[in-house]
């Protein structure tokens, strides 16, 4: 037994209202930079829908993740090491910018600088890739709320096999939202695909990160990840991915997406797992068995044997304690309501989901029946095969049984809690029908519905004796860094030159620059974005020459004359 700790997340899809706050705050915190305009570490997809990038789930097309070869051994779906190296000069399975979308900004300056005219001035969309005028044809959530679904949603890969049964009429279809971040897999195929070995899994908390100093831009990780959650920064030529907000996690605060989630649907906590079992579990032959196989890798923190092994593996005592209180562990193993996203990719993903009961509830409500009654709900789960099969395609490699079980639990909880809330005697037969007792069901209700902050996020901080040098806490004054808030600026050789700046400081600077600049998103005078070695010759990198205040002064009066 080799005990390792994994920081994991569970999202309760019933609560997601699709407001995109997580995406926006994540973008503001992490990818608010040139080169990452199209990068959404966190995105929210409407299902049925195409996802982002479009049809990323079609692994026959994109060849992401792992598969079993003829001898039953786990291999990368896109081919082994030799094939990777042979195709390194032109990655055959790299999504192009059209599969994401061409990022744009608006030429707002024409609005403020417009002379008095008969017609309203228009801010035209400008491509952030080529800088030219463009037509906006797609974006990160173009098919939001089933927009254009008649045209697009039928191409949803997960509808394969049930497409003739799903009604795409707007009033009749079911819909829910699926927020996605990097899965921080136990068996990450992105890391396995990286020729440079720049992507690594942190031993302490299992967060998967890209070492920006070792990434050489071979792009194999982008095609290797079946969730397409590694993005290529087209400006720096490096891969970037969701960091699980590790500077925040290290000091015990939740990720930005979780912290700002309006629906409070995200849970963060530790899961202990046996690293020796991962390969075996990922190599299980039957796709349907992968869900159970992955659960079998997880270790019960209450087990004294596990505690001893954790101690031997150097996992601190308070981390094991946190693993005991982990909401993620509870949702996955105690209540068994959380399911992994696409276990069939065999990457052992660690962001799990509680499938939504709401499509079923909505249907009952529309028919005028009592949508809180467990009899009605059970019957509806039985009858409404389409949502169940669709959810099974997402969460259990197509096996409807676990999805069915989870939905029944959620339905039972609704019915059971109604009695309690109305002051009636609780009907103990309801939890018994889904194999639970009343007390456990009540606990599950507390965790799912009340969901207090300290119950949703049980994040043991990294250790105090290391805190001196952690990213966010930095007991040293953060102004002390070379290029701290007071003295930031590109070094003489541009961005990225010199020693790395702590992430928090870097983002602080970028955000401030961005918010105080009144040019396009890629202003040519933005010193921090221009690397002399990669300088494209447009504009003058600030700091190289002294500023010319007179140039600005000349322009202004001319404009005023119009």
Partner 1 sequence: MDTFLWVIVPYLCLATFVVGHFWRYRYDKFGWTTRSSQLYEDKLLRLGSPLFHFGMLGVVGGHIIGLLVPQSWTDALGISHEAYHVVAVTGGMIAGVMAVVGMVILIYRRRTVGPVFSATTVMDKVMYAFLAAVIVLGMWNTIAGSIMTIGGEYNYREGVSIWYRSFLAFSPDASLMADAPIGFQLHAMVAFGLFALWPFTRLVHVFSAPVGYLTRPYIVYRSRDDQLLGSHSPRRGWERTRV
The residues in 341-400 that bind partner 1, with binding defined as CB under 8 A, are none
Binding mask 73-112 for partner 1 (x = CB under 8 A): --------xx-xx-xxxxxx-x-xx---------------
Angle at 533 between CA 528 and CA 535, to 5 degrees: 60
Which tokens is 547 given?
Answer: 């500023």
Kindly tell me which of 98 and 366 has the beta carbon lying closer to partner 1: 98
Q: Facing residues of 542 across strands? A: 545
Indicate the pairing of strand 351-354 with strand 3-12. parallel
- Helices 304-312 and 317-324 meet at what angle, rounded to 10? 140
Is residue 147 within the footprint of partner 1 (CB under 8 A)?
A: no
Contacting partner 1 within 455-484 (CB under 8 A): 462, 466, 468-471, 476, 480-481
The footprint of partner 1 on residues 242-261 (CB under 8 A) is 247, 250
Stretch of 105-113, 136-144, 176-184, 190-198 contacting partner 1, by CB under 8 A: 190-198
33 binds partner 1 (CB under 8 A): no
**Choices 18-26, 53-61, 357-365, 532-540 (CB under 8 A): range interacting with partner 1:** 532-540
Please, where are the H alpha helices in 422-548? Answer: 429-433, 438-445, 453-456, 503-516
Residue 244 or 353: the one with the smaller Cβ distance to partner 1 is 244
* Contact partners, residue 379, CB within 8 Å, separation at least 6: none
Q: Encoding tokens for residue 318?
A: 């308070």
Q: Cβ 123 to partner 1, closest distance in Å?
A: 21
Task: Output the CA angle 540-542-548, nearest 5 degrees.
Answer: 75
**Run of H or E residues at 381:** helix 374-383
Q: Which of 171, 282, 276 is nearest to 226 (CA)?
A: 282
User: CB 253 → partner 1: shortest distance, Å?
Assistant: 15
Query: Rounded to whole angstroms, how far apart are CA atoms 345 and 282?
Result: 9
Residue 467 CB, shortest distance to partner 1, in Å, is 9
Alpha carbon 376 to its chain centroid, in Å, reads 35
Q: Per CB under 8 A, which region of 148-156, 198-206, 265-273, 421-429 contacts partner 1?
A: 198-206
Residue from 43, 59, 236, 393 that binds partner 1 (CB under 8 A)? 236
Question: How many other CB atoms are found less than 10 A from the CB of residue 557?
Answer: 8
SS3 label, residue 240:
strand
Report the phi/psi class of residue 534: left, alpha or beta, with left for phi > 0 and alpha for psi in -120 to 50.
alpha
Q: Which is nearer to partner 1, 428 or 476 (CB)?
A: 476
Considering beta carbons, is residue 64 or 398 the nearer one to partner 1? 64
Q: Give the residue ranges of DSSP H helices in 43-142.
A: 59-62, 81-86, 97-100, 109-113
Q: Closer to partner 1 by CB, 194 or 436: give it.
A: 194
* Nearer to partner 1 (CB atom), residue 377 or residue 462: 462
What is the spatial distance between Cα 72 and Cα 50, in angstroms, rounded to a whole number?
31
In terms of phi and psi (left: phi > 0; alpha: psi -120 to 50; beta: otherwise), the region of 80 is beta
Nearest distance in Å: CB 301, partner 1? 21
Q: Which of residues 125-144 bind partner 1 (CB under 8 A)?
A: 127, 129-132
Minimum Å gap between C-beta 323 and partner 1 is 19
- Per-residue tokens: 204: 């302490």
Quick check: 318 binds partner 1 (CB under 8 A)?
A: no
At 395 the three-state DSSP class reads helix
Q: CA-to-CA distance for 98 and 119, rounded, in angstroms?
A: 33
- Output 355 or 494, the one with its CB closest to partner 1: 494
548 binds partner 1 (CB under 8 A): no
Residue 142 token pair = 């173009």
Query: 126 vs 32, 136, 235, 262, CA distance in Å?
Result: 17, 9, 17, 32
DSSP state of 16: -
Whether 350 contacts 328, CB under 8 Å:
no
**Which residue's CB is nearer to partner 1, number 102 or number 372?**
102
**Min dist. Cβ of residue 119 to partner 1 (A):** 29
User: Would you count residue 544 as binding partner 1 (CB under 8 A)?
Assistant: no
- Is 199 a binding residue for partner 1 by CB under 8 A? The answer is yes
Between residues 217 and 489, which has the closer beta carbon with respect to partner 1? 217
Give least dist CB 246 to partner 1, A. Answer: 9
The piece of 166-174, 187-195, 285-293, 442-450 that touches partner 1 (CB under 8 A) is 187-195
Pick from 192, 284, 360, 448: which binds partner 1 (CB under 8 A)?
A: 192
CB 497 within 8 A of CB 491: yes
- 407-466 residues in contact with partner 1 (CB under 8 A) are 462, 466
Binding of residue 219 to partner 1 (CB under 8 A):
yes
Residue from 64, 179, 188, 431 touching partner 1 (CB under 8 A): that is: 188
From the CB of 551, what's the least distance to partner 1, in Å?
22
- Candidate segments 52-60, 230-238, 303-311, 507-515, binder of partner 1 by CB under 8 A: 230-238
- Segment interacting with partner 1, rule: CB under 8 A, options 167-175, 410-418, 511-519, 529-537: 529-537
Element (H, E) at 550: helix 549-560
Residue 67: CB atoms within 10 A of its CB come to: 16
| Contact flag: residue 200 with partner 1 (CB under 8 A) | yes
Quote the DSSP letter at residue 49: S
C-beta of 249 vs 391, nearer to partner 1: 249
Binding-residue total with partner 1 (CB under 8 A): 75
Q: 232 or 352, CB closer to partner 1? A: 232
Question: Please, what is the minimum distance in Å from the beta carbon of residue 473 to partner 1?
Answer: 10
Q: How far is the CB of 363 from partner 1 (least distance, A)?
A: 42
- Residues 485-504 interacting with partner 1 (rule: CB under 8 A): 493-503
Tokens for 304?
A: 């004294």
């Amino acid at each position: 037994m080799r005990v390792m700790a994994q920081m994991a997340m569970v999202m309760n899809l019933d609560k997601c209202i699709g407001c995109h706050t997580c995406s926006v705050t994540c973008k503001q915190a992490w990818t608010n930079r040139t080169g990452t305009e199209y990068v959404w570490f966190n995105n929210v997809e409407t299902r049925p829908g195409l996802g982002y990038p479009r049809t990323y789930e079609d692994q026959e097309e994109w060849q992401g993740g792992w598969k079993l070869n003829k001898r039953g051994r786990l291999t990368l779906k896109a081919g082994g090491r030799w094939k990777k190296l042979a195709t390194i000069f032109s990655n055959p399975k790299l999504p192009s910018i059209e599969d994401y979308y061409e990022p744009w900004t608006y030429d707002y300056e024409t609005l403020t600088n417009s002379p008095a005219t008969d017609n309203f001035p228009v801010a035209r969309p400008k491509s952030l890739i080529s800088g030219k005028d463009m037509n906006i044809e797609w974006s990160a959530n173009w098919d939001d709320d089933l927009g254009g679904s008649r045209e697009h949603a039928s191409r949803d890969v997960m509808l394969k096999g049930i497409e003739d049964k799903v009604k795409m009429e707007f009033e009749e279809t079911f819909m829910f939202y699926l927020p996605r971040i990097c899965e921080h897999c136990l068996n990450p195929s992105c890391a396995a695909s990286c020729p440079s070995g720049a992507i690594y899994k942190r031993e302490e908390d299992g967060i998967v990160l890209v070492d920006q100093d070792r990434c050489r831009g071979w792009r194999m990780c982008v095609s290797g990840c079946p969730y397409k959650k590694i993005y290529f920064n087209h400006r720096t030529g490096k891969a970037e991915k969701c960091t699980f907000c590790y500077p925040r996690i290290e000091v015990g605060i939740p990720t930005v997406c979780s912290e700002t989630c309006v629906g409070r649907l995200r849970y963060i906590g530790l899961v202990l797992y046996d690293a020796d079992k991962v390969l075996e579990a990922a190599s299980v032959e039957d796709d349907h068995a992968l869900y159970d196989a992955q659960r079998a890798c997880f270790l019960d923190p209450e087990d004294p044997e596990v505690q001893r092994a954790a101690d031997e593996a150097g996992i601190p005592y308070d981390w094991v304690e946190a693993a005991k209180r982990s909401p993620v562990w509870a949702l996955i193993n105690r209540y068994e309501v959380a399911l992994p996203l696409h276990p069939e990719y065999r990457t052992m993903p660690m962001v799990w989901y509680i499938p939504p009961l709401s499509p079923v509830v909505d249907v009952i409500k529309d028919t005028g029946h009592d949508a809180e009654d467990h009899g009605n709900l059970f019957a509806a789960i039985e009858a409404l095969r389409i949502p169940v099969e669709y959810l099974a395609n997402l969460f259990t490699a197509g096996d409807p049984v676990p999805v069915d079980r989870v939905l029944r639990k959620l339905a039972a909880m609704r019915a059971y809690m109604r009695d309690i809330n109305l002051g009636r005697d609780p009907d103990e037969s309801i939890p018994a029908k889904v194999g639970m007792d009343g007390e456990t069901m009540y606990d599950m209700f507390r965790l799912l519905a009340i969901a207090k902050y300290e119950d949703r996020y049980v994040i043991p901080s990294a250790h105090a004796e290391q805190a001196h040098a952690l990213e966010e806490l930095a007991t040293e004054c953060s102004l002390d860094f070379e290029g701290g808030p007071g003295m930031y600026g590109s070094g003489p050789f541009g961005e990225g030159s010199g020693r790395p700046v702590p992430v928090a400081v870097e983002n602080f600077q970028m955000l401030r620059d961005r918010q105080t600049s009144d040019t396009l998103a890629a202003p040519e005078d933005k010193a921090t974005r221009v690397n002399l070695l990669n300088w494209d010759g447009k504009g003058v990198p600030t700091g190289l020459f002294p500023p010319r205040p007179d140039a600005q002064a000349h322009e202004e009066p001319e404009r005023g004359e119009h």
